[in-house]
A and B are shown apart, each in its own frame.
Chain A
């Protein structure tokens, strides 16, 4: 059952559970941190409303810089602002930032040790109709390999708001991964959030379970639904929400491996290099158990509705459920 101590949305199982775009939490959080800290500045590459940075621009026009469609400049100008004591947030679609401007992020932000926060909106395959060019499904991989970079992938808009507020105080480069689509609201204001800390949303820490799901982003909701479904079949599941992919909460991951003995990772991203890889790097060294990976298998996306695409590329609820059963079988062999 849901972990009561997490104080998750009491209406989580309602058919009409509230759904809000994760990116909206970023927009709201940026206004809040802008009110609190006058050094916060916003830069956007011609996608101000799409990335929800317009909320900040409308409130603090003198601290907003419209960059035009120029993501490389976006990253390096932010580095310069940071050098002068500003706390720059830069926003675009994840495909373009950190996609197109990866080297500028590596050299002028991370190598230079500049605390710039990169908000990549429209990440994942659920961007939908725009098609494969706009579906960032490699962004976790390319950001988490850069030294110093913190990588955060919130599961709903409330967590995105908390992540945005927290990022401004970290003093290191941060990538925040945001989704376009309306996403069921999983958490509440009272749900614990800490950068670098995984939270167990389903099951409890001490007891054993048949399988542990490690999920990130919008798919955390689907993982919770699978846990609830499997409960009815007398299969016990734990669900760990990894909102900080780097640095990974290795303690929580290892603890899950120990109490479950079988792991399924779930992400809207290529399996190569994403959350699943990060988990595998940890588990194989710390406490090897069987792992199944849910994610995109070395393919590009295409146009379609989010649900069509998630089903087609193997990230639907049925796929997560099947992966749970498969990994339990592997454990019991």
Chain B
């Protein structure tokens, strides 16, 4: 059972999320391509999962009793890689190999290269199906009380995919109490804002009508992240979804809330944005000072 966060632990998670965001910017700059907005927006949730919620062992990634985290929207892998590196799965220095030839950190996750991943992903809408399959297998083998949880991280945009709803139907039918879906509700996708491209609201009602227990949270509030997962874990007779309202590009002012940064790295010429040579510097400065909240920057 998850305990509420102490002030000390909250500070610790804040610090981890800050480190992860800094790594994301450094990785993307080094790669010269990749997605900025989603990874920055999900850093608080990934930090909370890997440093507080998940049962896992970075030194023994194949530990059979571990919780499983399936990343469905593979394009936000910079946040997954950065979090895993900071958690000790592989050296932090390796993050700078993102998207490079022979790197373990493929542009979209590939288990062949990085076996510690639970799955390869990229094409959208397929991760939840896999998490459902894993959760079903565990229930077949260990019954309803194995204690393992299956987390599926997915985006709001990928709910456009029909397969997502096939998986949601099945999860509801099978009453998978060991399944916790976390939707990154950042309201952007490549072509624009989700409600312009393909409206998803009322998203809570949609999930409820498919027999999910629904939590809607501020995805940047560590206490809400922990307490919502705690409640989802306590729901025994069905799957849960946490709709995490996040700010795309969180922590970098010129990227926040702007769909144009969905699929681009810092260092891109965009009208109305800071000069491309300055972007990484501005981003790193803002992240290191938490947007001016910390006076002296620790380089």
Once bound together, how far apart are the Cα atoms of A86 and B135, in whole Å?
Answer: 12
Q: Are B126 and A108 in contact (CB under 8 A)?
A: yes
Say yes or no: is A146 at the interface (Cβ < 8 Å to chain B): no
Once bound together, how far apart are the Cα atoms of A210 and B135, in whole Å?
Answer: 58
Say yes or no: is B194 at the interface (Cβ < 8 Å to chain A): no
| Chain A residues within 8 Å of B162, by CB | 72
Q: A70-B166, A76-B129, A77-B170 are in contact. Are A108 and B119 (CB under 8 A)?
A: yes
Q: How far is the CB of B156 from chain A (nearest CB, A)?
A: 19
Q: A70-B170, A113-B111, A113-B112 are in contact. Are A104 and B133 (CB under 8 A)?
A: no
Q: Are B118 and A83 in contact (CB under 8 A)?
A: yes
Q: How far is the CB of A77 from chain B (nearest CB, A)?
A: 4
Once bound together, how far apart are the Cα atoms of A67 and B136, in whole Å?
Answer: 12
Say yes or no: is B169 at the interface (Cβ < 8 Å to chain A): yes
Say yes or no: is A68 at the interface (Cβ < 8 Å to chain B): yes
Q: Are B140 and A62 in contact (CB under 8 A)?
A: yes
| Chain A residues within 8 Å of B111, by CB | 112-113
Total of A-B residue pairs, C-beta within 8 Å: 100
Q: A80-B129, A108-B129, A112-B119 are in contact. Are A73 and B134 (CB under 8 A)?
A: no
Max chain A Cβ within 10 angstroms of own Cβ: one of B129, B133, B137, B167: B133
Q: How far is the CB of A172 from chain B (nearest CB, A)?
A: 13
| Chain B residues within 8 Å of A78, by CB | 133
> Which residues of A from 61 to 76 have beta carbons under 8 Å from B?
62-63, 65, 67-68, 70, 72-73, 75-76
**Binary interface encoding of chain A residues 79-92 relative to chain B, with 1 for a CB under 8 A from any of its CBs, else 0:** 11111111010000
Say yes or no: is A242 at the interface (Cβ < 8 Å to chain B): no
Say yes or no: is A191 at the interface (Cβ < 8 Å to chain B): no
**Quick one: closest A residue to B133, CB to CB?**
A80
Say yes or no: is B110 at the interface (Cβ < 8 Å to chain A): yes
**Binary interface encoding of chain B residues 163-207 relative to chain A, with 1 for a CB under 8 A from any of its CBs, else 0:** 100110110000000000000000000000000000000000000
| Chain A residues within 8 Å of B163, by CB | 70, 72-73, 76, 104
Q: Are A111 and B110 in contact (CB under 8 A)?
A: yes
Q: How far is the CB of A113 from chain B (nearest CB, A)?
A: 7
| Chain A residues within 8 Å of B167, by CB | 73, 76-77
Select one of A62, A68, A80, A85 contacting B130, CB under 8 A: A80
Q: Are B170 and A84 in contact (CB under 8 A)?
A: no
| Chain A residues within 8 Å of B120, by CB | 107-108, 111-112
Say yes or no: is B22 at the interface (Cβ < 8 Å to chain A): no
Q: How far is the CB of A179 from chain B (nearest CB, A)?
A: 28
| Chain B residues within 8 Å of A41, by CB | 137, 140
**Quick one: closest B residue to A69, CB to CB?**
B166
Q: How far is the CB of B212 from chain A (nearest CB, A)?
A: 16
| Chain B residues within 8 Å of A77, by CB | 129-130, 132-133, 136, 167, 170
Q: Are A65 and B129 in contact (CB under 8 A)?
A: no
| Chain A residues within 8 Å of B118, by CB | 83
Once bound together, how far apart are the Cα atoms of A261 and B134, in whole Å?
Answer: 52
Say yes or no: is A103 at the interface (Cβ < 8 Å to chain B): yes
Say yes or no: is B43 at the interface (Cβ < 8 Å to chain A): no
Q: Are A73 and B129 in contact (CB under 8 A)?
A: yes
Q: How far is the CB of B7 from chain A (nearest CB, A)?
A: 38
Once bound together, how far apart are the Cα atoms of A107 and B109, in whole Å?
Answer: 11
Q: Are B133 and A76 in contact (CB under 8 A)?
A: yes
| Chain A residues within 8 Å of B141, by CB | 84-85
**Quick one: closest A residue to B122, CB to CB?**
A107
Once bound together, how far apart are the Cα atoms of A77 and B137, in whole Å?
Answer: 10
| Chain B residues within 8 Å of A84, by CB | 133-134, 137-138, 141
**Quick one: closest A residue to B125, CB to CB?**
A72
| Chain A residues within 8 Å of B131, by CB | 80
Q: How far is the CB of B128 from chain A (nearest CB, A)?
A: 8
Say yes or no: is B61 at the interface (Cβ < 8 Å to chain A): no
Select one of A65, A107, A108, A112 contacting B136, CB under 8 A: A65
| Chain A residues within 8 Å of B133, by CB | 76-84, 88
Say yes or no: is B291 at the interface (Cβ < 8 Å to chain A): no
Max chain B Cβ within 10 angstroms of own Cβ: one of A65, A86, A104, A108: A108
Q: Are A68 and B169 in contact (CB under 8 A)?
A: yes
> Which residues of B from 113 to 155 have beta carbons under 8 Å from A?
118-123, 125-126, 129-138, 140-141
> Which residues of A from 88 to 121 have beta carbons under 8 Å from B?
88, 103-104, 107-108, 111-113
| Chain A residues within 8 Å of B68, by CB | 83
| Chain A residues within 8 Å of B170, by CB | 67-68, 70, 73, 77
Q: How far is the CB of A44 from chain B (nearest CB, A)?
A: 13
Extra pairs beyond A77-B170, A83-B118 (20, CB < 8 Å): A67-B170, A68-B166, A70-B163, A70-B170, A72-B166, A73-B132, A73-B163, A76-B163, A77-B129, A77-B133, A79-B119, A79-B129, A80-B70, A83-B133, A84-B138, A84-B141, A103-B123, A107-B121, A111-B120, A113-B111
A residues bordering B, Cβ < 8 Å? 41, 62-63, 65, 67-68, 70, 72-73, 75-86, 88, 103-104, 107-108, 111-113
| 20 A-B pairs (CB sep. < 8 Å) | A41-B140, A62-B140, A65-B136, A68-B170, A72-B129, A72-B166, A73-B166, A73-B170, A75-B129, A76-B129, A77-B130, A77-B133, A80-B119, A80-B135, A81-B137, A82-B133, A83-B118, A84-B141, A108-B119, A112-B119
The 8 closest A-B pairs by CB, nearest first: A80-B133, A76-B129, A84-B137, A73-B166, A80-B130, A77-B133, A70-B166, A72-B163
